[in-house]
Structure 1
Amino acid sequence: MTKRADDENRNPPSDSPVIRTIAMPADTNPAGDIFGGWLMAHMDLAAGNVATRRAKGRAATVAVEAMSFLSPVLVGDEVSFYGTVIATGRTSLRIRIEAWRRKRESEEMIKVTEATFTFVAIDDERRPRPVD
């Protein structure tokens, strides 16, 4: 890993996290690390929160791309999920989500996962609608 990439994985975004949670024993895979699906589910929740606020209404996940697992999450780690709208179409939103972990006894944060989620704003009949 280059010095620049290492620095980018050690400096979380300056805005507040969308979600913050603690990784628990029930969230582990057979190897004892936190299950990747647990991280992905929380990332989708965070992206959904960002999408709903930006679209001012319901939005549905339609794609996830470029998901990268950079570092393991361990039981007891605090995991913070940061989200940013990176593109807006007529009915769609692309949202970048980063997950950062912090050991409970430390202040050091390490980026563990990143992905881009695409959402479509939907109406009451679950059909695409323009993003407000």
Structure 2
Amino acid sequence: MPNTGRQATIRTVPQPSELNVNGNIFGGWVLSQMDIAGGVVAGRRANGSVATVAIEGMKFHQPIEVGDVVSVYAEVEKVGRTSITVSIDVYADCGTKEPHKVTEGKYIFVAIDKNGKPRAVDNASD
């Protein structure tokens, strides 16, 4: 089992409505799931609201098929004054073989206050 000792931040099953023209799951759907998972982890670390400011180092290794169980693993990699970098791995499990990594990337979030302005990560949101 990949990611021994880690719990998936999100586990979901893509639907036929998420297919691209090639019959695989649309990459934008995968990116959105990664953004949600990264935001959950970054928000916990920031103790408040965060906003996605960048995506870097994306790699799509294999396509995701309809019916695959998709698990998104996200963990804080680096914390700056207002920013949090989250490393994200996505695995697919079709039930007939070991889960396999399909996508990985790094998302950068900024902690924001109630007015949507950057704030120090270690300050609680208002």
**TM-score range relative to shorter protein:** over 0.9
Letter in 2 for 1:116: K
79, 104, 107: which is aligned to 1:117? 107
2:28 alignment partner in structure 1: 37
Q: Superposition RMSD on alpha carbons, in Å?
A: 1.2
Please list the CA deviations of residues 30-52 of structure 1 after superposition, one character each: whole Å capped at 9, or x if unmatched.
11100000000000000000011
CA contact (8 A) 1:58 1:122 kept: yes
2:58 alignment partner in structure 1: 67
Counting matched residue pairs gives 122
Looking at structure 2, the residues matched to 113 and 54 of structure 1 have their Cα atoms a distance apart, in angstroms, of: 23
Looking at structure 2, the residues matched to 48 and 89 of structure 1 have their Cα atoms a distance apart, in angstroms, of: 16
Looking at structure 2, the residues matched to 75 and 81 of structure 1 have their Cα atoms a distance apart, in angstroms, of: 16
**CA apart distance, 1:14:** 2.6
37, 47, 50: which is aligned to 2:41? 50
Q: Which runs of 4+ in 1 moved over 6 A?
A: none
Looking at structure 1, the residues matched to 4 and 72 of structure 2 have their Cα atoms a distance apart, in angstroms, of: 10
Q: TM-score by structure 2 length?
A: 0.93
1:3 alignment partner in structure 2: none
Letter in 2 for 1:49: V
Sequence identity percentage: 45
| Gaps in structure 2 of 5+ consecutive residues | none
Letter in 1 for 2:107: F
Looking at structure 1, the residues matched to 9 and 101 of structure 2 have their Cα atoms a distance apart, in angstroms, of: 15
Secondary structure at the aligned position of 2:76 is classed as strand
